[in-house]
Amino acid sequence: MSTRVKTETDAEKLGRRNRELSILNTIAQAVNQEVDLTRALNTALKHVAELFNLKTSWIFLYNDAGKAYVAAAQDLPPALADHPRRMGGNCDCLWDFEHDELNDPCNITCSRLENLVVGTAGLRQHASIPIDAHGKPLGVLNVASSDWDDLSADDLQLLYLVGDLLGIAIERARLFNRSAELGAIEERNRLAREIHDTLAQGLTAIILQLETADALLENGSPPDRVRQLIAQTLGLTRANLDEARRSVMDLRAAPLEGRPLDEALKVLVEEWAARRKIQAHFEMVGSPRPLPLRIQTGLYRMLQEALTNIGRHAYAHDVLVQLTVMPDQIRLRIEDDGRGFDPSLVQGEHFGLIGMNERANLLSGSLEVCSAPGEGTQLEIFIPLETTI
């Protein structure tokens, strides 16, 4: 009995090629329109989901310390989305990638899901696609489906080309960020030169005028002339003070001093606890990832304010600070076992909550306060990350 093997016709082959080119063109255009890395990756995942008829996908990238973090995610199942710890640390696909064994298109049993029953949305496997640029390993694209008949061998090969496009987009976004950082350094240098050219010269003029006034007093010059010179000196001093304030506001030096956010927050907590002689613990949930400087600075300042409030008002013995990094948001939780308070009675600037809430709002985030007299206080700050086009 003979078996008839179906041969792809020229028309079918042409249709398949057109579909592949259309997918690659759509994704290439989408990611090349973005210089923000998070938006570019989320845009790519959105198009991958639509064009390959998939629901769930995520991207791991490596930070400067060589640790993987979830840089973007599309519709993670509850077992992963609601438990950020499960997306941290190593796994089989990352191990394969790090050992250069993620070369051929294949389906891998997800080691993060294999021992779970509830909240997996029927997912057990995913395809893992390496992301690199110019031979430099950058990360892994994972796409998951409950039915692997949805992805053909051609689709898997096409996803590898998508991985190449992502690699180019990632390098482009990182180069843009580096150029922005260089621009910031140049601006700081410009401000330093401006301070030297204005404040230094202004202070020199003030000293000369004060020395002149002193000489006039010694020579017995008329008091009106001395008073006039002192009045001019006071005016010059006020002008230089205004200039100094403007320059300081322009500098806005970041408090992290070049450290990663988790490290800077940990040092802040430890130094504060040592000064206050209070037991305090910092915990990081998830893997550290690059964040915009405004978010890092905002979180640092809010934690600084929260610790100041605890030290002044809470009479606490134990403090827990937890930073949770998720694909779509950052959560900072500060919890103490102090005397607590009634949040409904807080008015004006009491406890610094107004300022913290304003900082959170400026980052499109929110501040939640849970406290009661005699029951301690828990603050939760939620800051969204870019997830839309």
What CATH number should be reported for the domain holding residue 83? Answer: 3.30.450.40
Average pLDDT over residues 341-358: 74
Say yes or no: 361 and 222 in one domain.
no
Per-residue model confidence (pLDDT) at position 253: 46
Per-residue model confidence (pLDDT) at position 58: 93
**Is 194 part of any domain?**
yes
Q: Write out pLDDT tens, residues 189-231.
A: 655 655 555 566 667 777 787 888 888 888 888 888 888 888 8
CATH number at residue 363: 3.30.565.10
Say yes or no: 321 and 219 in one domain.
no
**Is 1 part of any domain?**
no
Per-residue model confidence (pLDDT) at position 184: 59
Per-residue model confidence (pLDDT) at position 368: 95
Output 140 or 231, whichever has higher pLDDT: 140
Output 274 or 17, whichever has higher pLDDT: 274
Say yes or no: 159 and 306 in one domain.
no
Say yes or no: 104 and 196 in one domain.
no
**Is 389 part of any domain?**
no
Domain end (from 148, 179, 210): 179
**Is 4 part of any domain?**
no
Split at pLDDT 50, 70, 90, the class of 322 is very high
**Is 3 part of any domain?**
no
Domain end (from 179, 208, 231): 179
Per-residue model confidence (pLDDT) at position 389: 36
Q: Which of 22-26, 61-65, 184-188, 239-243 is predicted with the least confidence, judged by mean pLDDT?
A: 184-188
Domain end (from 251, 274, 296): 251
Say yes or no: 95 and 150 in one domain.
yes
Average pLDDT over residues 252-273: 82
Residue 199: both structure tokens together: 């404040």
Say yes or no: 221 and 290 in one domain.
no
Say yes or no: 192 and 168 in one domain.
no
**Is 5 part of any domain?**
no
Sequence-ordered list of residues with C-beta below 8 angstroms from that of 53, at least 6 positions apart, any chain: 150
Q: How many domains does the chain divide into?
A: 3
Q: State the residue range of the domain holding 136.
A: 10-179
**Is 299 part of any domain?**
yes
Say yes or no: 109 and 202 in one domain.
no
**Is 256 part of any domain?**
no
Say yes or no: 201 and 153 in one domain.
no
Average pLDDT over residues 154-161: 84
Say yes or no: 27 and 143 in one domain.
yes
Output 354 or 258, whichever has higher pLDDT: 354
Average pLDDT over residues 44-66: 87
Greatest alpha-carbon span in the chain: 128
Say yes or no: 273 and 361 in one domain.
yes
Say yes or no: 26 and 102 in one domain.
yes
